[in-house]
Amino acid sequence: MSVQLKKGVLDLCVLSILAKQDTYGYDIYQSINNILGISESTIYPILRKMVSESLLETRLRESPDGPARKYFTMTPLGKRRYVALKEAWQAFVSRVDGLIEEEEATS
pLDDT at 1: 61
Average pLDDT, whole number, for the chain?
A: 92
Q: How far apart are CA 39 and CA 34, in angstroms?
A: 11
State yes or no: pLDDT of 81 exceeds 80. yes
DSSP states of 26-42: HHHHHHHHHHH---HHH
pLDDT at 38: 92
Residue scoring higher pLDDT (47 or 8): 47
Residue scoring higher pLDDT (106 or 17): 17
97: CATH: 1.10.10.10
Q: Which amino acid is at 51?
A: V
End-to-end CA distance of the chain: 25
| Residues of the domain holding 35 | 3-106
Task: Note the pTM of the prediction, 2 decimals.
Answer: 0.88
Total count of domains within the chain: 1
